Structure 1
Amino acid sequence: MNLIPKYLVACLGRYWLIHTDYWQTISNRVEVATPLNSWKRLIEGVYLYDHGINPYEGDSFHESPIMLILFHFLLKKVPYLLPVIFVLLDALTAHILYKASKSFIRIFKESQESGKGQIAEDSITMLVTESQLDEVPIYVLSMYLFNPYSFLNCAGMTTTVIQNLLLAVSLWGAASGHRALACVFIALATHQALYPILLVVPISILLANVNQGCNKCSYIRTLLGFVLCWGFCIFISAFIMDGSYDYIYNTYGFILTVPDLKPNIGLFWYFFTEMFEHFRLLFVCAFQINALALYVVPLTLRFHKEPVLLATVLIALSTIFRSYPCVGDVGFYLALLPLWKHLFSFMQQKFIVGCAFLITSALGPTVWHLWIYSGSANANFFFGVTLSFATAQIFLITDLLFAHIKREFTLKNGSSRQVDGKPAKLVLR
């Protein structure tokens, strides 16, 4: 299938949107830009650095020094090419996701073939066919290229475009068995946004499965490679800042302590605006444990045989519960959902979740205008919409996981819903 028209349409649409009169509005939207990825804050940090002022001394710049140097070079040498660079990087992300999904499909085919002996006779027809599997990479590509969230993320020229590219390359590297590639890019993504550290677990499992080596040794090599790469990123960043590690407080520290409570599509800002200050540390720890550590162990224990599903779910959960999320993060994990097209028939809440996404995406800007510009609403209205948006995402993830469990049960026990000759009912607990 010729994919060039898809790339051309998506790239031209993004390029056109950047050059419309709405670009400034898009780049400043709270759904698109956050204190971490904002284009406005990025150029401010570059301006300060260019004039010999440490951009990390204030409270305006929170990108890593590596990103600072990269955009300092681009803004000095080729500022007129920046819109083209952002568009091409987003198209490259879509292409790498396309390549990664092909590798994921190959892994799924091998897993399905090896498990045929354990499948009930009346469930053979439920196996995914070659033609169905071959369609999936096209769906993944299209879902990323034409997703409105990805469109707005690129049009706003946020640094989430680069983070999505790093995540895509790390997933592709893991699915292809390239440990060095996966470790380097997941370390770069972690250095930029911290939360991608969760992907070390599924990437380690995926590399061990693909390379079919000694699992324990493979896990150790992957973990060691990640730690070394991340440590090198921290060292290089300190070298850029003349040997100072003070930047860590305004990057990792800013993500963890959440000092900027400007509204966004996340859950942190409203809670910490309303909270008494002496409870702040307790709830910061509780929220960050929820985002960084709470789900990794139980999900890994249950879905260790499905590392691609585990990676998809962890990306989604970190997007929902991170301190400064944006629609670009949401668009990235939504592009991975077509990998689980064979589970859609087992999902029960597709319509509800779809309607919730549409309604909250439309209501968010509306309520924001009523609150900020018209003065006829307040923060409760906007937080209600963001809370509904987060709830819809949680429903989506739980429905996907339960659909996997139901399909797994049906393949093993047949579609008669009987266990030991008695009617059975599958209940999520």
Structure 2
Amino acid sequence: MKMSTLSSKHAKKKENTYFLQSCSKVVLLLCLAAFLRYLVMSSKYQTIIANHFEISTPICSWKRVQEGLFLLSRNIDPYDGDLLHETPTALIFYKIMSQNVFRDVSLMFIFFDIGTALLLYAATRHYAKQFHQEHRDRTKYPKDVHEYLPSEGYYEKVPLYVLVAFLFNPYTFLGCVGYSTAGIHNFFLALFVFGMVYGSPIVSSLALAICSSVSFYPLILLSPLYIYYSQVYKSKTKALLVVLYFLTYVYLITFYNNSLSKSFKFINNVYGSIWTVPDLQPNIGLFWYFFTEVFDHFRELFIHSFQINATILYLVPLSIKFSNRPFILTIALLFLITIFKSYPCLSDLGFVLSFLPNFLHLYAFCQQGVIVGVILFMTSCLAPTLWHLWIYSASANANFYFGVTLAYAIAQIFLVTDILFAQTKWEFTLKHGREAKIDGEDADLSLE
């Protein structure tokens, strides 16, 4: 009994020591990331980065927010034209943050980036611990798959990897330096994931309602939210209460938006512009080139087709397939939003890439990692080069640039399909072992 007590104290002391070491690493990484961001923001390169359309789209441009705030200060309705695509609540939020809380705008963007990193770290730490505990009993799995199970230090290392993947990801870094409001939107997406993983229905539903009020794409995340709480409560009826919380928050936010705007004109500027894509300024998405070329009488058909593809087309099959893995379903849906939304930016991709360390146990089953990495690297380098050749040197045309954006989207599609199929193979291997046989012959799981 005494030996057991000593062992327990030793384990607790070891855990506390590691926790302190982990906290010191987190603080060091956060300070370094904040310093690097502020250093570049204070340089002449900030304006160059902020003016790049890969960073600032019509939906996430800080310059447009500033113009909207100026019009608001002159008692001019910022929604009279086609300038502003932020909701009235978001506009007031930015006004308070930039004029009352943060006198230096760069500090505001750094604050939300650091906040996003901390939320992702905390959410991943909790999820990785649950994931490790789920597979701690190795005796229930075939012996030849033990090497694929998470190691003892899995839940301790993964959160730090996620933190580094977000803070020093060039996509999130450039988005923060370029004052892209997508970084602030990502803060609330991270808050949604954090609230969901920790089982807080109020936090997760409120964060999702805020995200959905800015853009309708996050509405599809209601599916993993419902699935997660139906597992937590072991009751689909109780999980519906979380959906009711979400709908209540959406109603309150819409009511507040309407009271601020004194009309529903903002709906067309915010949601209408996202759905109908009136601004065909080139970006890293798939919409602009197609709708520049398409005949006007086909435009409505293809607009609805594209938007259905970006929202509900994959929702039902993925929700059925990963009904027991709501966290993975969430990441998959975030990837699909990033790929197929009408006005994507680099911050969107940087945010979802930060979740990849959660899938380190799937590395042995992935096949497209090198290809995806090379394509993303090449397209990231070629995009500004071909833009310069097209716009400034006039030695290229829109086809050159769209070819890069197409390859950029294909790389993301390869990545998400590789992860989802690797998850399927991993679950199959844990159940049947590495040497699965059908009719006495070796079976091979392949994607048809």
TM-score, structure 1 normalization: 0.96
Measured after TM superposition, the shift of residue 117 of structure 1 is 6.6
Aligned to 1:34: 57
Q: What is residue 3 of structure 2 aligned with on the other side? A: none
C-alpha distance 101-408 of structure 1, shift in aligned 2 (>3 A): same
What residue in structure 2 maps to residue 239 of structure 1?
A: 259
Largest Rg, 1 or 2:
2
Q: Which residue of 2 aligns with 1:15?
A: 38
Amino acid at match of 1:370: L
Q: Structure 2 counterpart of 1:30, which letter? A: F
Q: Partner of 2:109 in structure 1?
A: 86
Alignment partners' CA distance in 2, 1:424 and 1:179 = 43
Q: Deviations over 1:339-393 (max 9, x none)?
A: 0111011101111110001000000000001011111011100100000000000
Per-residue Cα deviation, 1:162-220 (whole angstroms, up to 9, x for no partner): 111000011110100100000000100111122111111112222333x3x24212331
Matched-pair contact (CA < 8 Å) for 1:184–1:226? yes
Which stretch of structure 1 is more off in the superposition, 43-52 or 271-280? 43-52
Give unmatched runs, 5+ long, in structure 2. Answer: 1-21
Deviation larger for 286-295 or 80-89: 80-89
Q: Which residue of 2 aligns with 1:221?
A: 241
1:133, 1:419 → 2: CA distance? 35
Kept after mapping to 2: 8 A contact 1:100/1:171: yes
* Structure 2 contact 113–183 (Cα < 8 Å) conserved: yes
Q: 1:176 aligns with which of 198, 217, 221?
A: 198
Where does residue 250 of structure 2 map in the other structure?
Answer: 230
Aligned to 2:340: 321
The alpha-carbon deviation at position 283 of structure 1 amounts to: 0.2
CA contact (8 A) 2:123 2:194 kept: yes
Find the partner of 1:206 among 206, 228, 232. Answer: 228
2:197 is matched by which residue type in structure 1?
A: A
Partner Cα distance (1:21, 1:125) in 2: 50
Distance 1:215 1:105 in 2: 24
For 2:99 and 2:171, locate their aligned partners in 1 and report how far apart those are by CA, in whole Å.
Answer: 29
CA–CA distance in 1 between the matches of 2:386 and 2:433? 48
Does residue 396 of the first structure (1) align with residue 418 of the second (2)?
A: no
Higher mean C-alpha displacement, 273-282 vs 65-74: 65-74
What's the CA shift for 1:106? Answer: 2.6
What are the within-5 Å matches in structure 2 for residues 300-315 of structure 1? 300-315=319-334
In 2, the alpha carbon distance for the partners of 1:394 and 1:169 equals: 25
CA shift in 2, pair 1:75/1:338, >3 Å: closer
Hey, what's the Cα distance between the residues in 2 that align with 1:337 and 1:318?
A: 16
- Residue 75 of structure 1: CA displacement? 4.2
- In structure 1, give the amino acid aligned to 2:28: P
1:120-178 per-position Cα deviation (integer Å, ceiling 9, x unaligned)? 23223321122123210000000000000000110011111111100001111010010
| C-alpha contact (below 8 Å) 2:285/2:339 kept by paired residues | yes
The residue type paired with residue 217 of structure 2 is Y
Identity of paired residues, percent? 42
Do residues 191 (structure 1) and 213 (structure 2) align? yes
CA–CA distance in structure 2, aligned partners of residues 152 and 17 of structure 1 = 9
Asked whether the equivalents of residues 186 and 226 of structure 1 are also in contact (C-alpha less than 8 Å), the reply is yes
Q: Counterpart of 2:333 in 1: which secondary structure?
A: helix
Gaps of 5+ in 1: none
The C-alpha deviation readout for 1:78-104, integer Å capped at 9, x for no partner, is 663221111011011001100000121
Q: Deviation per CA, 1:26-56: give whole Å up to 9, x if none.
A: 1111110000010111101111111111111
CA distance in structure 1 between the aligned counterparts of 2:226 and 2:152, rounded to whole angstroms: 27
C-alpha contact 1:118 1:412 (8 A) present in aligned 2: no
- Aligned to 1:130, what secondary structure does the other structure show? coil
2:146 to 101, 124, 128: 124
Q: CA RMSD in A?
A: 1.4
| Residues 1:78 and 1:226: Cα distance change in structure 2 (over 3 Å) | closer
Secondary structure (helix, strand or coil) at the match of 1:80 reads coil
Code of the residue aligned with 2:362 in structure 1: it is L
